[in-house]
Structure 1
């Protein structure tokens, strides 16, 4: 039998430490090896207990969660799953994901409640997946202080919309998406649509803060929204986003309830509307979604780009598409912007 996954729980609330412990210990493959009451206590326990995964609150005394993440990533690298009630604070969610946490999950609220029970499976799944992360490929995104006047000026200039960049990722993808958009020019004759694994409750705050730090305009994807050049529309994979044409023949977004394979739905629909002016991009993630959609993009003359699985935090998504033969270009993360530009030029 495989060794149980060792988990350390860091939260200043005694009730939450007990509640999360009880949740995790309902799964026999997980072993809570300790708890800590704040970031400083957590750093000491990480060094002493050597957990495989840490669950981490944000709002704590002495050392809060964001400060703890910075120290953990440098001093005692270990996968971190944030469990926090501060999901509506864009600065917090954006910063945590920028720093390289595996996921940011809204903390269960109330007592031993229906909400706690509904959260149980997601928390267990996130901890299990986090334990298999390729930690060497986790890197924080270095950001500018904000969007400069020069970057704002390129947002307001007119550029035609000719191409669509359709990007799909799952767990740990937001970190890579942030890095890509800091380095990709918004003057390309393209819009971008992104499906990534992020809780819908977190998405609006995350997008608002994201928009402050990159030259692209970042928006939450909305049903019926007409696509505009220089705008990146972000959707949680708990919805199905597809591309369509409205009654005026304008390309627009359609949102529906969750489907089993939202990336395939996005890629296929993008290809049907933009044909050979479609650029599909597949990043790090868990599962086998995206390969079929990539095949449709290639059938209609578009380009498909996959992040090299060797530099993915989770290699499953890209590796599956590569093995299926539906990828036009395989590049490491640093080459992604140039690969997108070359596919449009």
Structure 2
């Protein structure tokens, strides 16, 4: 922390106007202090080394040295939470690369009236800065482990549901890299991220494994060996297929208290009704409380409930709430999560 226990922030942005606007937002919060600005990723790295900020706010696209360059250098030299600002529709892959390399989170960059949009009271930058300052950003690394597993006879469980928010992309990649390529049950993942990113995230995950990774489509039947990502346009429910013994996906506009599109609670609750004691529910890193109520339903039905432990969670919000409310009594480090899940089967 900086003077008087304020959160120290470095802004890296090539636009002079945006630097001024971001400075105004930061300086309006008395618990945050702007200690410097930089015009590109290289200058940002140099100033970060000198000033040692608690949090870095960086544009994604900058001349010569961009936000991805900055994230790679920062996480290698002196891990520090980096909040990225980006025009999401143009740079999905770059953002996903940055998240995988350890970026804390990202925010949409205003697209039309910059002054009015970015100064709006509901712009969440300062709130995100405060969460980032308390995060365990060093715990983002993924480890590859693609060994096959011998599955003998029928499985004890028939479905795994995973929910994640801030810090989730890296954690999810970590788990998938630990899973055997011959996994014989479906997995559903609800990752809190903008709709435009989910399709790209699914494609990225699909390259990591021989399992099939895709965004769920309404009305499709779950298949073993498939990993389904909940879409960002609706809440995903599971229902019994009236024409077979299978289970199908259904998109709902029903609203949930903690989060929507996708709601982890929605998936967990509907899955618990169908699978009962034959499912595993997992809550990973993230802000807020989404997933705890759904996880309680899974536990009540006799299913296994798991939360990521505090030491390896980038943000110990959702896992903490799940543990504190009794939704789960199992805390597992992310680098052991995949192996633990397979051992349960």
Normalising by the residue count of structure 2, what TM-score does the alignment of the two structures yield?
A: 0.85
* Matched residues, number: 332
Shift of 1:57: 1.7
Secondary structure at the counterpart of residue 276 of structure 1? helix
The match for 1:214 is 209
Partner Cα distance (1:236, 1:5) in 2: 35
Question: Once the 2 structures are TM-superposed, how far is the Cα of residue 89 of structure 1 from its aligned partner?
Answer: 3.5
Deviation at 1:53, TM superposition (A): 0.9
Q: Which residue of 2 aligns with 1:130?
A: 132
Say which of 231, 234, 238 aligns to 1:243.
Answer: 238
2:61 and 2:201 map into 1 onto residues whose CA distance is: 17
SS of structure 2 residue aligned to 1:121: coil
Distance in structure 1 (CA, Å) of the matches to 2:208 and 2:274: 30
Runs of at least 5 residues in structure 1 that lack an aligned partner in the other structure = 152-158
1:5 to 7, 11, 17: 7
User: Aligned to 1:230, which of 220, 225, 232?
Assistant: 225
Match of 2:341 in 1: 340
Per the alignment, residue 151 of structure 2 pairs with: none
Work out the CA distance in 1 between the residues paired with 2:342 and 2:220: 25
Match of 1:19 in 2: 21
1:104-253 map, 5 Å: 104-112=106-114, 115-116=117-118, 121-136=123-138, 138-141=139-142, 163-235=158-230, 239-249=234-244, 250-253=246-249
1:107 Cα deviation from its structure 2 partner: 1.6
Change (3 A) 1:229 1:240: same
**Inter-partner Cα distance in structure 1 for 2:200 and 2:270:** 27
The residue aligned with 2:252 is: 256
User: Contact between 1:182 and 1:215, CA under 8 Å: does it hold in 2?
Assistant: no
**Cα distance in 2 for residues equivalent to 1:124 and 1:253:** 37
Contact in 2 for aligned 1:104/1:198 (Cα 8 Å): no
Q: Is the 8 A contact 1:198 1:236 kept in 2?
A: no
Deviation of the 1:50 alpha carbon: 2.2
Q: Tell whether the 8 Å contact from 2:173 to 2:205 is kept in structure 1 after alignment.
A: yes
**What do you get for the CA RMSD once the two structures are aligned?**
3.0
Question: Once the 2 structures are TM-superposed, how far is the Cα of residue 91 of structure 1 from its aligned partner?
Answer: 2.7
Unpaired segments ≥5 residues, structure 2 = 149-153
Q: Which whole-Å CA distance do the structure 1 matches of 2:9 and 2:89 have between them? A: 22
1:316 corresponds in structure 2 to: 317
Aligned 8 A contact 2:142 2:335 in 1: no
- Which of the two has greater helix per residue? 1
In the TM superposition, what whole-angstrom CA distance separates every residue of 1:117-172 from its partner, at most 9, and x where no partner exists? 56952323322211110234x2333579xxx9x99xxxxxxx99x71111112211
Determine if contact 2:104/2:137 at 8 Å carries over to the other structure: no
Matched-pair contact (CA < 8 Å) for 1:54–1:80: yes
Alignment partner of 1:283 is 2:284: yes
Cα–Cα, structure 1 residues 238 and 45, in superposed 2: closer, same or farther, change >3 Å? farther
SS at match of 2:186: strand
The Cα of 1:86 is off from its aligned counterpart by 5.0
**Which residue in the other structure is 1:156 paired with?**
none
Q: Give distance in 1, aligned partners of 2:77 and 2:315.
A: 23
